[in-house]
Structure 1
Amino acid sequence: MSALSGGEATRLLVVWCPDWPVTAASVAAGIPLHHPAAVFSANRVVACSATARSNGVRRGMRRREAQSCCPGLAVLGMDSSRDARLFEPVAAAVEELVVGVEVVRSGVVAVPAMGAVSYFGGEHELIERVVDHVSGSTGLECQVGIADGLFTAVLTARRGVVVEPGAAARFLEPLPITELVSALPTEDNGELVDLLRRLGLRTLGQFAELSERTVSSRFGRVGMIAHRLARGLSERPIDRRRPPEELAVVETFDPPLDRVDAAAFVAKTLAKTLHTELGTRDLACTRLSIYAVTATGEELARTWRCAEPVSEGGIADRVRWQFDSWLRVAPADGPESRPNSGVVKLRLQPEELVDASMLQLGLWRSVGGDDDTDERAGRALVRVQGLLGQTAVCTPVLTGGRGPGERVRLVPWGDPRDDADERPWPGRLPAPSPATVFTERIEVTVTDDRGRSVAVTERGQLTSPPRQIEVAGHPARHVLGWAGPWPVDERWWDPHDDGMRARVQIVVDKGDALLLRFRAHARPRWIVEGEYS
């Protein structure tokens, strides 16, 4: 999102169609919009309708759980191309009233508000016209909001309000920190928000009060982006110089391009050319315009605003989605919505650029997260398996168990990975888990302040408070604090294995924290099971 020289965000109008993936999937499947429906990916709910939510369906639910809450739930699949294709009439309807429409994602469009506000005589008058026109043209409901900056404007659209100029920070202050999840550009956004909540930062205002130096040193680039958004500023200070024309990629077609599959093939080629050209100049694109000219002279254009710099695959996807929208508009949208002939000229123009050298790549994915990095990594792992054997390359999977070492199962690369075991497992050690789990057996002696050995009784209680632990051959260490025990009685039916066990968390001098396990077998003993960092 663009920023002024002083760091202030531009004033934007945002049109938001609630639960768009569900709306698009329902329209495509011919399901009434008032019917409870949900879109699933990997057998979990990623979006659900308001009717489904009223019946208890929530994002993240498993399919079986969602259907038990709402037996009549319509189960729909994810399809990004479908969502973009069916959203094109909404973007076109907004464009009939306001110029400069930018598709943020399927279901959300943003336009500069200043010129349109002056033309229609006020912000509230503009909102009323947009809502009426979109509903009348498409038959779909939408909500509109106006504020400084894209992040704030999207939140106002979800609430159907207008935030006065300069009041973005005051509007954001009481909102929950979880609002950042959908705005941050990386796959780790949920982890950052969860960390902020655990640190006691529950609102955007509390996070905004931190200094930039503190946020930068503790949370890195993603934290700085989140901090700017929480303060009502733009995501990043953008160089407002217009990108040079020579960066545009142009392709002509003879015969005209009139099939989506052919467009998808062309999109990959053009995306690679544009991405390579930007890479040679150490640049990355955050706003991309797609221009097309048909054989009859029609000119088509659409701008896509990206939350983060797009990769080669991201550019190809947006070109494919846009062609899908232009070439496969439903007849019910009117013949004027569909081009009269095939496309003879296509141009990709980067409208907003950032310095790519400032972007930190992840281990498995590059910026954008939608390129072929995973595939190339997979091929490399398969090659290692061919050299060293199938079990030489494994990935961890969370499974059932009570101790930290029991909850991880190694699965050879390529074998099916079952979902994590979510059963209660009474006696399971509470979070957080130790950073290091020892595979070798490290026995220790635990004593109280009188030098007596500490044990765990049959009722799951310590015989006395621990004050000192000692490993053979090492000096004793003093216990500063402890928690537990968490007793578990396992394998009680096995006469050769007295299953009475208990775990205790202990903090020793020098700030180290250990997880100890007590086992009441033939010889009661304490074992160091893990270490917290």
Structure 2
Amino acid sequence: MWSSPHNAMRDNPDSPADIPPRMLVVEVEHWSAIAAGLDPATPAAVVFVGRITALTPAAAAAGVRTGMRRRQAQSECPALELIERDPDLDARRFAPVVAALEDLTPRVEVLTPGCCVVATRGPSRYYGGDEALAELVRQTAAGVLADAQTGATISVGIADGLFVAGLAARLASTRAPSTQVLVVPAGASAAFLSRLSQRTLAGAFSPLGDDPDAASDFTDVLGRLGLRTLGDVAALPVTDLIGRFGTQGEWAHRLASGRDFRLSQPAAAGPELSVETEIDPPADRLDTVAFAAKSLADQLDAQLTRLGQALVCVEISAETEHGETASRRWRHGFRFSPPDVVDRVRWQLDGWRSDNRSRPSGRISLIGLAVAETAPDEGRQLGFWGGQSEADERAERAMGRVQALVGFDGVTVGRLGSGRRFADLEQRLPFGTTGQADSSTAGASNTAGPRGTGASNTAPPWPGRLGAPAPAEVLAEPEPLVVLDANGEPVGVSGRAQVSAPPAVLRRADGRASAITAWAGPWPLDERWWSSRSRRQARFQLVLDDGTAHLCAVEGGRWQREATYD
């Protein structure tokens, strides 16, 4: 769930502040695949946190779609080549396109590598209207990428507000290459949106899309309620949506009605805020500059928090020891966090240093951050039963980077499985996946829960499974033991679960012996009795004279320690 719109807009929905300004969105489709140099004729895709984010035309023809899980995409196209997304590479390769657009208008804002936003009020008048501006922007971007022979699809959309303009750009990408421009007339947003699917509320240009999984769940509920299009959502009384979904429903109603309340003018920034720091001695390493930028981003975030504002658009400037300067604006679909700002600083400087036209000749001596636009910060309300926080998002980005370095299977998360043994409860999956785990685990459930939690959604009533308390430690490999009675004879269990004698001594493989002060059991376990892989086991809880408690089992006359209790 998300914070509600500004109260003034809510109280007066027809106020001028509620009329979205005209925006232009230019997007290069599947930019990550183009930046990575993937061959369009080869089935290949880019993966980020276990999901497909970009793909080649050959992969699309084979049935792969963006948003698919890694394993699902590979099942659709077994020959699919996968590479991990490199945000730094995406930004560095996109920098020449941004520089070319900045020659047309200085008010270019980078939303993500591969997508830029321009407020059209001034440029549109200068170049002769929205249609002329859109075509000029498309041709300029195409001219930069023509030498690379990437076959990139470049689409441009102009409409009232970022949400509608972004959707117009997406629809324009489906047109013929020479007509990939779509201009929605002023005031016609509601009619344009009315026929679009309700799932577009979970897209990249929607503030509801900040958490893709949560937004997808929300749009799925809308679909099950019979709201198939944005027109259906807009036709409902806003009070009904608020009563059912809270502020998330209010956001959805306003977006579906074409009233994107996110302000888009620099004047919305309010108090002029900027921070800068000198780097002495000047730095030639990006990580050194990023470290300094982290402190600045934290300072700026603290200032805005005291003012009750959230950072939406930031201008990053840098200066070298030779006096060379570079500045650029970066926009966020919802709000910037300090790590987001640091990422933009690194991307901008990396692109500056790789630009043959304006490459700096000296080291970075100054870095500055200036607020270009803010929005009222009314907080982000998570659900009562959990939800994704900014800390979760930072952790996901960090794990995604580690995964790109060590490989997809190198970073795993635990997942609560199901089964009769405690060893079945803990399963390991590659980070970012919620698909099937190792099916060889006996009795384990293969249905995972929400991404990042590793929780299982199924809990069958497994007969023979021990109840609470669960042990604190489950051994990956059981430890062999010898359990003796008071006469020094091995303790056994009959087929009817009868103990030959009370266990009195536990002897480990290294010869150490401990007295058993208390015990409980046996609890028989009979698995797959109908097959050749049948297993019979009797489990005991043993308390030793040193105060430790263990879960032990006897199988085939051999004892072993499987777990330890706290």
Q: Structure 2 length normalisation: TM-score?
A: 0.63
Instruction: Judge conservation of contact 1:263–1:323 (CA < 8 Å) in 2.
Output: no
* Partner residue in 1 for 2:492: none
The aligned residue for residue 103 of structure 1 is: 110
Alpha-carbon displacement from aligned partner over 1:463-499 (angstroms, at most 9, x marks no partner): xxxxxxxxxxxxxxxxxxxxxxxxxxx97938xx9xx
How far does residue 22 in structure 1 lie from its aligned partner after superposition? 1.3
Equivalent pair of 1:293/1:343 in contact (CA under 8 Å): yes
Q: How far apart in 2 are the matches of 1:34 and 1:415?
A: 29
Contact 1:99 1:111 in 2 (8 A): no
> Shift of the alpha carbon at 1:373?
10
Corresponding position: 1:12 with 2:23:
yes
Instruction: Confirm or deny that 1:349 pairs with 2:370.
Output: yes
Q: What letter matches 1:346 in structure 2? A: I
| Counterpart residue number, 1:260 | 286
Residue 535 (structure 2) pairs with residue 493 (structure 1) = no
Aligned: 1:242 with 2:279: no
Number of matched residues? 410
Deviation at 1:62, TM superposition (A): 5.3
The CA deviation at 1:163 is 0.6
Letter in 2 for 1:297: G
Partner of 1:150: 162
Structure 2 match to 1:310? 336
Could you tell me whether the CA contact under 8 Å between 2:109 and 2:328 is conserved in 1? yes
| Partner residue, 1:181 | 202
- Matched to 2:161, the amino acid is G
Between 151-160 and 9-18, the greater mean CA deviation after superposition? 151-160
**2:284 is matched by which residue type in structure 1?**
D
Q: Distance in 2 between matches of 1:440 and 1:50?
A: 47
Q: CA deviation at 1:200?
A: 1.2
CA contact (8 A) 2:51 2:432 kept: no
Q: Secondary structure at the match of 1:359?
A: coil
1-structure distance, mates of 2:91, 2:303: 27
In structure 2, relative to structure 1, the CA distance for the partners of 1:242 and 1:197 (3 Å cut) is: same
Query: In the TM superposition, what is the alpha-carbon distance from 1:292 to its structure 2 partner?
Result: 1.8
Residues 368 and 355 from structure 1, CA distance in 2 versus in 1: closer, same or farther, beyond 3 angstroms?
farther
Aligned to 1:421: 436
How does 1:426-445 map onto structure 2 within 5 Å? none
- Secondary structure in 2 aligned to 1:370? helix
Residues 49/304 of structure 1: CA separation in 2 closer, same or farther (3 Å cut): same
Change (3 A) 1:227 1:261: same
In the alignment, structure 1 residue 91 sits paired with structure 2 residue 98:
yes
AA matched with 2:29: P
Match in the other structure for 1:359: 380
Matches within 5 A, 1:130-529: 130-139=137-146, 140-160=152-172, 161-182=182-203, 183=206, 184-187=208-211, 188-236=214-262, 240-245=267-272, 247-329=273-355, 335-361=356-382, 363=386, 365-367=388-390, 370-371=393-394, 397=416, 410-411=425-426, 419-421=434-436, 493=530
Check whether the contact 1:145–1:153 (CA below 8 A) recurs between aligned residues: yes
The answer to whether the Cα contact below 8 Å between 2:40 and 2:57 also exists between their aligned partners in 1 is: no
Q: Give the RMSD, CA atoms, in angstroms.
A: 4.0
Task: State whether structure 2 residue 149 is matched by structure 1 residue 112.
Answer: no
| Mapped partners of 1:146, 1:415: distance in 2 | 40
Tell me the SS of whatever aligns to 2:104.
coil
Distance 1:81 1:281 in 2: 32
**Cα gap change, 1:33/1:339 in structure 2, threshold over 3 Å: closer, same or farther?**
farther
Q: Tell me how far apart the structure 2 counterparts of residues 153 and 415 of structure 1 sit (CA, whole Å).
A: 37
Q: Is the 8 A contact 1:296 1:340 kept in 2?
A: yes
- Could you give the per-residue CA deviations for residues 73-119 of structure 1, whole angstroms, max 9, x where no partner exists? 43221122221222111111111112311111121111011222222
Output the amino acid matched with 1:90.
V
Q: Secondary structure at the match of 2:36?
A: helix
Contact 1:311–1:371 (Cα < 8 Å) also in 2: no
**SS of structure 2 residue aligned to 1:45:** strand
Stretches of structure 1 that go unaligned for 5 or more consecutive residues are 330-334, 376-393, 430-434, 442-489, 498-533
Tell me, in whole angstroms, the C-alpha distance in 2 between the residues paired with 1:249 and 1:48.
39
- Aligned 8 A contact 1:310 1:368 in 2: no
Residue 196 of structure 2 aligns with an amino acid whose one-letter code is: L
Contact kept in structure 2, 1:9 and 1:234, CA below 8 Å: yes
Measured in 1, the distance between the counterparts of 2:162 and 2:350 equals 26
Q: Contact 1:260/1:327 (CA < 8 Å) preserved in 2?
A: no
Deviation at 1:274, TM superposition (A): 1.7
Change (3 A) 1:437 1:491: closer
- Indicate if the aligned counterparts of 2:280 and 2:365 stay in contact, CA closer than 8 A: yes
Distance 1:185 1:53, change over 3 A: closer
What is the identity, as a one-letter code, of the residue corresponding to 1:20? Answer: W
1:34 is displaced (CA, Å) by 4.5
Matched residues in 1 for 2:324 and 2:130: separation?
32
Structure 1 contact 176–202 (Cα < 8 Å) conserved: yes
**Aligned equivalent of 2:82, options 75, 85, 94:** 75
Q: Tell me, what secondary structure is at the counterpart of 1:96? A: helix
Report deviation, 1:165. 0.5
> Which residue identity lines up with residue 308 of structure 1 in the other structure?
F
The secondary structure found in structure 2 opposite 1:58 is coil
Amino acid at match of 2:270: P
Q: Distance in 1 between matches of 2:209 and 2:363?
A: 35
Structure 1 contact 12–110 (Cα < 8 Å) conserved = yes
1:382-431, CA deviations, whole angstroms, 9 ceiling, x for partnerless residues?
A: xxxxxxxxxxxx975467x9xxx99x9743899999854389x9xx99xx
Conservation of the 8 A alpha-carbon contact between 1:225 and 1:236: no
Counterpart position of 2:404:
none
Equivalent-residue separation in structure 2 for 1:158 and 1:491 (angstroms): 53
Inter-partner Cα distance in structure 2 for 1:259 and 1:310: 24
Q: CA deviation at 1:440?
A: 11
In structure 2, relative to structure 1, the CA distance for the partners of 1:340 and 1:211 (3 Å cut) is farther
Counterparts of 2:431 and 2:253, CA distance in 1: 39
Change (3 A) 1:17 1:346: same
The alpha carbon displacement at 1:366 in A equals 3.6
Q: 1:191-250 CA distances to partner (integer Å, 9 max, x unpaired)?
A: 1111111111111111111222222222123332222211111144689543323x3111
Whether the 8 Å CA contact 2:201–2:209 is kept in 1: the answer is: no
Amino acid corresponding to residue 144 of structure 1 in structure 2: V
Q: Give the distance between the partners of 1:367 and 1:260, measured in 2 at CA.
A: 24
- In structure 2, do the counterparts of structure 1 residues 410 and 231 end up closer, same or farther at CA, with 3 Å as the change threshold? farther
Find 2:36's aligned residue among 25, 36, 51: 25
TM-score by length of 1: 0.67
Instruction: Give, in whole Å, the separation in 2 of the partners of 1:157 and 1:238.
Output: 18
Give, in whole Å, the separation in 1 of the partners of 2:322 and 2:252. 46
Q: Is the 8 A contact 1:293 1:300 kept in 2?
A: yes
